[in-house]
Amino acid sequence: MPFGDNDWLALTQESTLEPEIPICDPHHHLWDMRPARIPYQRYLLDELYADLNSGHNVRSTVFIETRAMYRIDGPEEMRPVGEVEFVQGMAAAAATGLYGPARAAAAIVGHANLHLGDKAAPVLEALQTASPNRFRGIRHGLTWDPHPDIPNNAYGRKAQLADDGFLAGARVLARMGLSLEAWMYFHQLPELVEFAQAVPDLTIILNHIGGLLRIGPYANRDEEVLPTWRQGIAAVAQCPNVYVKLGGIGQPRTGYDWYARNQPIGSE
């Protein structure tokens, strides 16, 4: 069965752990990518609430951009606004309570190209207009690795955080009271430390436990990779404006074989 197939996921059943704890799910996506032929081709409110209503006490969620539902015309820099418009509609539907008690997409994180520098301001303002009550900030893909087996960010650019234009855009983000979600690889964490120090008023959320890699050129090299990752995380921890999301460890790029097993692992 393909990774992520619901029939495969259903092969492992267990009781809900600590069902009374109120939860805000801080990171999920919504999309309809049927033409892309991927396992999770459709994940909209029905699919989301099937998960939210499965036993845990999920009170709210945060939508994180995933380059879905962009506008197909208009200025290139404004096209990501379409994603926030789409999710704002999904959130309004969720707020009716028709799907369940949780408030899906109670906060929305979209995307704007910070390489625009000061010109990122009109894009951020358009995102705020698209979701005046839920938009909180943006996520920017920063992943970069020279090896062809490792996927890079959509901009295909190395060392984005040191770019003068990006820094200017980040300062606009900070002035507007918005946050930056950073998705990068473990060997890039020193770049994040310098960036966080350069923009101390910007709240930064590091995604996916700091981008651990154990595939391609990093496979079977835990004695080198893990200490480098730990050192990077320790350095990031000294930055008071950076927070880390504890998630994403099940992604194939972390090198664990959980997704390839005959049935999914459980909590034990």
pLDDT for residue 135 is more than 60: yes
| pLDDT of res. 268 | 74
Scan for tokens 């920017």, then name that residue.
140
- pLDDT confidence band for 267 (50 / 70 / 90): confident
Q: Is a pLDDT exceeding 50 seen at residue 149?
A: yes
Chain segment 151-169, per-residue pLDDT in tens: 998 888 899 999 999 999 9
Domain 6-260 carries which CATH code? 3.20.20.140
- Region of poorest pLDDT, from 93-97, 151-155, 216-220, 236-240: 151-155
Judge residue 189's burial from the number of C-beta atoms within 10 Å of its C-beta, 0-12 exposed, 13-18 middle, 19 or more buried: buried
In this prediction the pTM is 0.95
DSSP, res 15: P
pLDDT in tens, 27-51: 999 999 877 766 668 899 999 999 9
Decide: helix, strand or coil at residue 67: coil
Q: What is the pLDDT of residues 71-120, one digit of tens each?
A: 999 999 999 999 999 999 999 999 999 999 999 999 999 999 999 999 99
End-to-end CA distance of the chain: 23
- State the pLDDT confidence band at 250, using cuts at 50, 70 and 90: confident
Better-predicted residue by pLDDT, 198 or 4: 198
